Amino acid sequence: MNIVDDARASSAPSAEHRTVTTGPIAGSSKHYAEVPGAPGLTVPLRRVNLSNGEHLDLYDTSGPYTDDSPDAPPIDLLAGLPQPRHAWTRPAPAEGVSTQLAWAKAGIVTDEMRFVAAREGVDVELVRSEVARGRAVIPANRNHPEVEPMIIGKAFAVKINANIGNSAVTSSIEEEVEKMVWAARWGADTLMDLSTGKDIHETREWILRNSPIPVGTVPIYQALEKVKGDPAALTWEVYRDTVIEQCEQGVDYVTVHAGVLLRYIPLTAQRVTGIVSRGGAIMAAWCLAHHRESFLYTHFSELCDILRSYDVTFSLGDGLRPGSIADANDAAQFAELRTLGELTTIAKSHGVQVMIEGPGHVPMHKIVENVRLEEELCEEAPFYTLGPLATDIAPAYDHITSAIGAAMIAQAGTAMLCYVTPKEHLGLPDRDDVKTGVITYKIAAHAADLAKEHPRAQERDDALSRARFEFRWHDQFALSLDPDTARAFHDETLPAEPAKTAHFCSMCGPKFCSMRISADVRAYAEANGLTTVDAIEAGMAEKSKQFEENGSRVYLPVSPA
Amino acid sequence: MNIVDDARASSAPSAEHRTVTTGPIAGSSKHYAEVPGAPGLTVPLRRVNLSNGEHLDLYDTSGPYTDDSPDAPPIDLLAGLPQPRHAWTRPAPAEGVSTQLAWAKAGIVTDEMRFVAAREGVDVELVRSEVARGRAVIPANRNHPEVEPMIIGKAFAVKINANIGNSAVTSSIEEEVEKMVWAARWGADTLMDLSTGKDIHETREWILRNSPIPVGTVPIYQALEKVKGDPAALTWEVYRDTVIEQCEQGVDYVTVHAGVLLRYIPLTAQRVTGIVSRGGAIMAAWCLAHHRESFLYTHFSELCDILRSYDVTFSLGDGLRPGSIADANDAAQFAELRTLGELTTIAKSHGVQVMIEGPGHVPMHKIVENVRLEEELCEEAPFYTLGPLATDIAPAYDHITSAIGAAMIAQAGTAMLCYVTPKEHLGLPDRDDVKTGVITYKIAAHAADLAKEHPRAQERDDALSRARFEFRWHDQFALSLDPDTARAFHDETLPAEPAKTAHFCSMCGPKFCSMRISADVRAYAEANGLTTVDAIEAGMAEKSKQFEENGSRVYLPVSPA
């Protein structure tokens, strides 16, 4: 069945707004691969077609939007995406619980596990065992049938999340839906809708029904809207009903700041930047107002029961994360982390999947300690960090200050990275900022996969570098994270089509091309058996004259078009 | 005396082109501080003037161009910058040698050492001893009297270099001079002129006479131009005369690829990207053509004598550096590094200062090994690396792929980072690319200074974060690496001036501001003595009502202007 709830129907964008970005990424085409052990199930691939006849298949997060094949389903935002998961097999409950964690612990392999194993190119048993250990999660609410399941865990490729969402001051539903499609197009593995302004429910409905990637939220934001923005007026009942409303819609994971305890609040009083997490600040205000532990903490088991019935995953929020280099790794941050560890044990005992959120702002020499402690205190639950920013001094470039920290913390074992855009600390990201943030974080995640020697990671680097060395410009663009911008930059200095096959580039011009001299050197060395130190040390002086005649004059008059 | 050689006079830009970017950076003003022990000598500072009456003085590379005080010298590109170093004391030769290295080893403290010590805020004896050990260099050709000396070494702040230069296909003298001024404005510590096209001598002359930062070159490029681009036609004599020509002009350091030995060439034959260094490829072609070791290697001592007589610093080039992730840390790269170590010993025995160039493209888990080996093989001579790029898959974003590697390699001990711009591998950087590259590398260098716990590094982060927490928007902009862009991004969503003092921002809007709730929480906690765990655990329930009345309703109706 296709959920179009009244709210969404009534808030339907006008016809001219019902369009989002579609079509394949330049140089690639959409393909689907069979899922072993699950007849009829297929995983999406981005196939890069190379000019030498070869191709490289890449992990694809973009959903049906990049499929331009004749038999592809039409894109209709009002109807929403197809809902393949309705046809998937759902096993009987394991000891009364129907979550990926419960099934994995019971030794049951689900279609979701088979799907992600095929996507990652790993054995499904690795997926099952990591989920069973709680070292990986598959965020897939049973009410989000449009989702293409994915896995978050240190044994798998590092994932990235993109945040979108309107606020009281900006943005519309149409913009947010396009941002979701756009983020997924460039590689976002999950999406968080952090809307705090008007139409929170409607915006989320539009996003969920059209999102091929898991969607996360922070329910306290909507709960606070319901009480007119006064944190002291929040109650467990208002919060509970909000969580149920969002689980019913199909949210796949929720951030819960249940680790902000009353006694931790004073630990932030002497900080340079106090409490910078919105959820953390809201709960701190509530705790002080009522001088009680927060209802998120006191009702945590009840919350577990709600999430379990939809297989929604906890993302235990770090409400006391550092907001500056000065506050990194302090008492408040690590006190909360210890509490998140206790909550992890409780959630898993209820059969609920859990990941743990991390900082924030951390100097490079204090990054690894965050991962070590999280693994020690939280049973190696997947770590999900925001950056961290490695310095505070570059507002407008915080996608870069944080990409440095993100790559390092991912190398150390973080499973998912929440992106930061150039607008961080300054404004809300627009469409271009979303793309910049996603591409920047794909770089950080991939750099970490290389450093972890992930089986598939280096294939793409090698394919691109080979294309670069052989002057296959179109292949170099197609294999890159952003073919459009790579080509545009090349066009700026050498626009003409012939330049796309020329054996030089604008950096050095035809006479200075080291790649080209190097190719000639290699050809000469191989032609003359000079491919070993011994051979060359044998000293074949007679070769040199011959090389001068036909080899060393490598600068044939190739002039830039 | 003010050098305006004929070449420069004849190639003088037309009047309308004789302008470069001048004036202070937004929110800052130019100041000069006395140099202890050197009466009359002053070091430049960028003073950030804060709205709370405080100020923060920052290291300043921008030269007279950012000085708008009434008594500042007028900027005249044809006349060139003032030449303060002519007035500085030059000690008598130490054992016949007049270089910073020779003087340092003889225990003599020079004005250059006093100048850089004042700039870095360290004891001059640290400067002298590090230079004497060869663990730091002060690149300052006696024929570059316009330069404001700086020091490159692991004991000091991490430095960055910006590359500019025209090629056969692009650019003009005017553009290159403005790029130099522009790069220095945003924080480039040194500049390399890599011109390979027309007017190489003239372009360099214009840059040198107007550059407050040290200038480096790769003489083999100009030598190759002199032999019509045929590497086999290169000779020691042509190269030697080119080096002398450049030393006479005032070049402060030169890249010399003397480590490319004949027997190493075959080690590159099986690489994914062969030889990617221009200089390396040129010398490899020469070696194979003549089947002899390169003249750079066989005439190295003679080259030392030339550089010594001007106190020009060697930057021993890594002609066999890896050009892809696949080729990182391979036999060719490390074989050359060992030879660079032997050449370091020779150069220092001649009294010549030396730094060592490093890669390139290196995955994160192989970065530290590069620093360890360089220090072991090259007597800890300052390491000067290009990036390295932590992945190959993001052309158009290689300032970011390389900033990740650069920050990590600097943390491990690299003294200077050569920037990479978004145009790397695709085209020549324009003015905007130069700025993006410089700012990105200032981020990497500063992140490393923080990780190395450099005494002054965190002051700026703390000042900016304090401004952020207190909603002093103008101070936050002024303290950032790029105040103009930070302000522009903030203006996009909240343009009006009142928003610059509003106690919220566009990310969350007035009702959701965590910084603001946090400030209220802090004020409440402090007002009620709840600043310790004990105090709060004492459980003062009666406080809560009071807080509800006056504290928890933090959302006064402040609406965005």
State how many domains chain B has. 3
| pLDDT given for residue A506 in this prediction | 60
Residue A122 confidence (pLDDT) above 90: yes
pLDDT range class, residue B84, cuts 50, 70, 90? very high
Residue A51 pLDDT grade (very low, low, confident, very high; cuts 50, 70, 90): very high
**Average pLDDT of chain B, as a whole number:** 89
Q: Is residue B222 within a helix (H) or strand (E), and if so which, with residue range?
A: helix B219-226
Supply the pLDDT for residue A428. 85
CA distance A235 to B42: 63
> Where does the pLDDT of residue B551 fall: very low under 50, low under 70, confident under 90, or very high at 90 and above?
very low
Mean pLDDT of chain A: 89
Angle made by CA atoms B278, A507, B166, in degrees to the nearest 5:
100
Structural domain harbouring B272: 153-453
| Mean pLDDT, rounded, for A54-82 | 94
Q: Is A128 helix (H, G, I), strand (E, B) or coil?
A: helix
The pLDDT tens digits of the residues spanning A174-226 come to: 888 999 999 999 999 999 999 887 789 999 999 999 999 999 999 999 999 99
Indicate whether A437 and A447 sit together in one domain: yes
Q: What average pLDDT does this structure show over B520-532?
A: 70
Residue of A nearest to B390 (CA): A447
Closest CA relative to residue A367, chosen from A408, A421, A311, A337: A408
Residue B83: inside a domain, yes or no?
no
What pLDDT score was predicted for residue B388?
98
Q: Check A401 against B480: CB less than 8 A apart.
A: no
Spatial separation of the C-alpha atoms in residues B186 and B26, rounded to whole Å: 12
Q: What is the pLDDT of residue B428?
A: 85
Q: How far is CA B398 from CA A238, B361, B391, B403, B484, in A?
A: 48, 10, 9, 8, 23
Residue B533: pLDDT band by 50, 70, 90 thresholds? low
A158 in the same domain as A183? yes
Would A114 be classed as within a structural domain? Answer: no
Would you say residue A57 has pLDDT above 80? yes
What residues contact residue A219 under an 8 Å CB cut-off, 6+ apart?
Answer: A239, A242, A243, A246, A254, A255, A256
Q: Residues B519-543: what's their mean pLDDT?
A: 63
pLDDT band for A159, please (50, 70, 90 cuts): very high
The stretch B153-182 carries a mean pLDDT of 86
**Which of B418, B423, B412, B522 is closest to B466 using CA atoms?**
B522
Among A88-102, A544-558, B137-151, B188-202, the minimum mean pLDDT is found in A544-558
* Percentage of residues of chain B with pLDDT beyond 90: 76
Residue B55, H or E segment:
strand B55-59
Residue B48's SS3 state is: strand
Q: Which of A402, A515, A403, A506 is nearest to A468 (CA)?
A: A515
Nearest to A326 among B290, B465, B555 (CB): B465
Q: How far apart are the first and last CA of chain A?
A: 57
In a domain, A131, yes or no: no
Mutating which of B465, B490, B528 best tests the A interface, going by the most A Cβ atoms within 10 A? B465
Q: Which conformational region is residue B250 in: left (phi greater than 0), alpha (psi within -120 to 50 degrees), or beta?
A: left
CB contact under 8 A, B407 and A390: yes
Q: What is the pLDDT of residues B434-463, one digit of tens each?
A: 999 999 999 999 999 999 999 899 999 999
Q: Tell me the C-alpha to C-alpha distance, in Å, between residue B540 and each of A426, B18, B268.
A: 38, 71, 73
pLDDT class for B530, splitting at 50, 70, 90?
low
CA distances from residue B447 to A35, A315, B474 in whole angstroms, order as listed = 44, 29, 23
pLDDT on residue B13:
52
Say what the pLDDT of residue B537 is.
55
CB contact under 8 A, B462 and A272: yes
At residue A504, the pLDDT reads 61
Segment A255-286, tens digit of pLDDT: 999 999 999 998 998 899 999 999 999 999 99
Backbone CA torsion sign across A338, A341, A343, A345: negative
Residue B541 vs residue A549, higher pLDDT: A549
Looking at beta carbons, which residues of chain B come within 8 Å of A537?
Answer: 262-263
Q: Are residues B184 and B297 in the same domain?
A: yes
**pLDDT band at residue A514 under the 50/70/90 scheme:** confident
Both structure tokens of B484: 């103009």
- Domain end position, chosen among A502, A517, A532: A502
- Phi, then psi, of A212 in degrees rounded to 5: -85, -5
Bridging pattern class, strands B28-34 and A383-386: unpaired
Residue B548 is assigned to a ligand binding site: no
Same domain, A160 and A305: yes
pLDDT at site A534? 62
A369-420 pLDDT tens trace: 999 999 999 999 999 999 999 999 999 999 999 999 999 999 999 999 999 9
DSSP character string of B385-415:
EE--BS-SS-TT-HHHHHHHHHHHHHHTT--
What type of residue sits at position B23? G
Distance from CA of B554 to the nearest CA of A (A): 8
Strand order from edge to edge, sheet including A28-34? A28-34, A42-49, A55-59
Please, which residues have CB within 8 angstroms of residue B424's CB and are 6 or more apart in sequence?
B395, B398, B399, B402
**B310 and B295, same structural domain?**
yes
Chain-chain contact of A462 with B324 (C-beta, under 8 angstroms): yes
Predicted confidence (pLDDT) at residue A13 exceeds the cutoff of 70: no
Looking at residue B197, the DSSP 8-state letter turns out to be S
Number of H helices and E strands in chain B, helices first, is: 21, 13
Interchain proximity A404–B401, CB inside 8 Å: no
Which chain B residue has its CA at the smallest distance from A331's CA? B533
pLDDT higher than threshold 90 for residue A518: no
Under the banding of pLDDT at 50, 70 and 90, the label for residue A517 is: confident
Query: What pLDDT score does B561 carry?
Result: 30
* b/e sequence A104-121, b meaning 16+ C-beta within 10 Å: bbeeebbbbbbbbbbbbe
Of A167, A273, A288, the CB nearest to B468: A273
Count CB neighbours of A393 within 10 A. 27
Q: What is the pLDDT of residue B95?
A: 94
pLDDT for the residue B554: 34
Q: Provide the greatest CA pair distance for chain B.
A: 92
The mean per-residue pLDDT over the stretch A129-139 comes to 98
Q: Are residues A200 and A313 in the same domain?
A: yes
Q: Are the Cβ atoms of B266 and A533 closer than 8 angstroms?
A: yes
Taking alpha carbons only, the member of A182, A202, A203 closest to residue A63 is A182
Q: Which residues of B touch A488 (CB under 8 A)?
A: 396
Considering the domain architecture, whether residues A185 and A276 belong to the same structural domain is answered as yes
Statement: residue A1 has pLDDT above 50: no
Q: Flag whether A23 is in a domain.
A: yes
* Smallest CA–CA distance from A230 into chain B, residue: B553
B87 falls within a domain: no
User: Which residue, A412, A438, A453, sits at the end of a domain?
Assistant: A453
Residue B171 — very low, low, confident or very high, per pLDDT cuts 50/70/90? low
Mark whether B378 and B520 lie in a shared domain: no
- Predicted confidence at residue B175, as pLDDT, reads 85
Whether this prediction's pTM lies above 0.90 is answered by yes
Do A418 and A523 lie in a common domain?
Answer: no
At A438, is the pLDDT very low, low, confident or very high (cuts 50, 70, 90)?
very high
Reported as a single tens digit per residue, the pLDDT across B24-47 is 999 999 999 999 989 999 999 999
Nearest-10 crossing angle of helices A457-469, A514-527: 90
Please determine, for residue B244, whether its predicted confidence score (pLDDT) is greater than 70.
Answer: yes
CA-closest candidate to residue A161, choices A180, A138, A175, A178: A180
User: For residue A322, what is the DSSP state?
Assistant: -
- Taking the CA of residue A377 and the nearest CA in chain B, the distance in Å comes to 22
Residue B559 placed within a domain: no
A439 contacts on B by Cβ (under 8 Å): 394, 397
Q: Do residue B514 and residue A169 have CB atoms under 8 angstroms apart?
A: no
| Residues contacting residue A133 through CB under 8 Å, at least 6 positions apart | A380
Find chain B residues with C-beta within 8 A of A459's C-beta: none
**How many Cα atoms sit within 13 Å of B261 on the Cβ side?**
20
Six-digit token string for B21: 């970017």
Comparing A514 with B278, the larger pLDDT belongs to B278
**pLDDT confidence of residue A15:** 46
> Which of these three, A422, A453, A484, is where a domain ends?
A453
- Does residue A378 have a known ligand-binding role? no
ipTM rounded to 2 decimals: 0.92
Share of chain B above pLDDT 70, in %: 86
Pairwise CA distance, residues A205 & A225, whole Å: 17
Whole-angstrom Cα distance, residue B308 to residue B244?
11
CB B216, CB B252: distance < 8 Å: yes
- Cα B232 from Cα A552, distance rounded (Å): 6
pLDDT higher at B99 or A522: B99
Give the CATH number of the domain where residue A358 resides: 3.20.20.540
pLDDT for A340 equals: 98
Of the ranges A422-431, B117-126, B529-538, which is most confident?
A: B117-126
A239 is in an annotated binding site: no
**What pLDDT score was predicted for residue B502?**
65
| Per-residue DSSP letter, A393 | S
- Specify which residues B215 forms β-bridges with: B191
Do A278 and A395 share a domain, yes or no? yes
CA distance B182 to B431: 8
Q: Are B288 and A528 in contact (CB under 8 A)?
A: no
Distance from CA of A285 to the nearest CA of B (A): 6
Q: Are residues B447 and B482 in the same domain?
A: no
Please say whether the beta carbons of B324 and B315 come within 8 A.
no
> For residue A92, what are its two tokens?
């009987």
pLDDT reading at B560 higher than 50 = no
Phi-psi category of residue A493: left, alpha or beta, with phi > 0 → left and psi -120 to 50 → alpha = alpha
Question: Do A346 and A226 sit in the same domain of this protein?
Answer: yes
Is residue A264 a known part of a binding site?
A: no
